[in-house]
Amino acid sequence: MKPIQTPQKAVQDIPDGSTIMVGGFMHCGHPFALIDALLLQGAKNLTLIVNDMGFPGKGIGKLLEAGRIRKIIATHIGLNPLVAEKWHAGEIEVELIPQGTLAERCRAQGAGLGGILTPTGMNTEVEDGKQKVLVDGKEYLLEKPLHADYAFVVADVADRFGNAIISKSRKNCNIVMAMAADNTILETRRIVDVGGIDPDMAHLCGVFVQSMTEANQC
């Protein structure tokens, strides 16, 4: 059985300087309760690995406004103008990664792989400093796995072992990020007893989950 905690209890031990993956696409599949709890908890100098920075004033946008983020690793930042303002002012670091590459680097970490080979970014600034590998006469970039200390992920329904159903586009980044962190905290709308989820319907295996919180915000 996985520990079932309040959002505040789930994040209380996250230290300053942690690297945190946050699932979701814009605000779809976003762990709002965990983010709000982290905001109150006070951890700072955080590195966030996210698909995007969402919109101002909500979710991870609150962490940015509060000055709690040191570095952002993301695929898209254009919907939150404050990212560019803080980046140009030298207040935060930003690393942009092609969307598919970010997802596959997370998956590689969870699968225990040494990295992925991709042609995306060849002959651009993306390739700077990266190893190239020749396969059947074609060059690829070696992109190494992405790892985090914590992952905040979302589900619609989870059982007490952490097996979870994640509906539709809410799957974006949540599954691969759950695999790629040392400590994955699952925010779910509903928790059911073991046996309450058809194994064929589970999108996330509970082996990747360390603790859970039940919240209606996600």
Tens of pLDDT, residues 41-97? 999 999 999 999 999 999 999 999 999 999 999 999 999 999 999 999 999 999 999
**What's this model's pTM, rounded to 2 decimal places?**
0.95
Name the residue among 145, 151, 195, 211 with its Cα closest to residue 175. 151
Separation of alpha carbons 90 and 82, rounded Å: 12
The residues pairing with 151 across neighbouring beta strands, listed in sequence order, are: 21, 184
Tell me the average pLDDT across 132-144.
97
Sheet order of strands, 132-135 included: 116-118, 138-143, 132-135
Cα–Cα dist 107/109, whole Å: 5
Pick the CATH number of 7-101+147-214 from 3.30.1370.100, 1.10.274.10, 3.40.1080.10, 3.20.20.70: 3.40.1080.10
- Find the mean pLDDT for residues 21-33: 93
Report strand pairing: 164-165 vs 148-159. Answer: antiparallel
Q: How far is it, in rounded angstroms, from Cα 3 to Cα 7?
A: 12
Q: Is the pLDDT of residue 218 over 90?
A: no
**100 pLDDT more than 80:** yes
Over range 112-137, report the average pLDDT. Answer: 95
- H helices of 125-193, in order, are 174-179
Residue 83 · residue 92 · CB < 8 Å: yes
Looking at every residue in the chain, the average pLDDT score rounds to 95
